Amino acid sequence: MGYAQLRELRTALTTASDIASSLRATPTRRDADQLVDALRRALTAAGSLGEATGPTGCALHPHGAVDPLHGDPEDPLPPGYGKCLLCNDRRRRADAPIRLHQRRPQPGRRRSA
């Protein structure tokens, strides 16, 4: 269990508690949605406490950075990409087109035969 995971859990639970404490007699849909969102974050953080693989789910970089595009519906990751930013960056570099650098003859210099 990492300090960051425990801090995330505490923050989510505190946020959920604050939202629940401030609810009026007739909460609005927005209030309910905010509370559900905070509780989901707390549940996700609590579930990750016992994971041996860490937040990335990566065997090579278990406590590395999570790719910010993971789960983004507007700009989804290609198939086969995971949550690990380091591995996804390596995949992106491998998938990038190869640029061949060609030497151009410089003016005034003769090419040797």
pLDDT tens, residue by residue, 3-55: 777 888 899 999 999 999 999 888 899 999 999 999 999 988 887 776 556 78
Which pLDDT score, from 0 to 100, does residue 50 have?
Answer: 66
pTM comes to 0.45
Predicted confidence band of residue 98 (pLDDT cuts 50, 70, 90): confident
Percent of all residues in the chain with a pLDDT value above 70, rounded to a whole number? 81
Distance CA 96, CA 89 (A): 11
Residue 86 near residue 54, CB atoms below 8 Å: no
Average pLDDT score, the chain = 83
Element holding 30 (H helix, E strand): helix 29-47
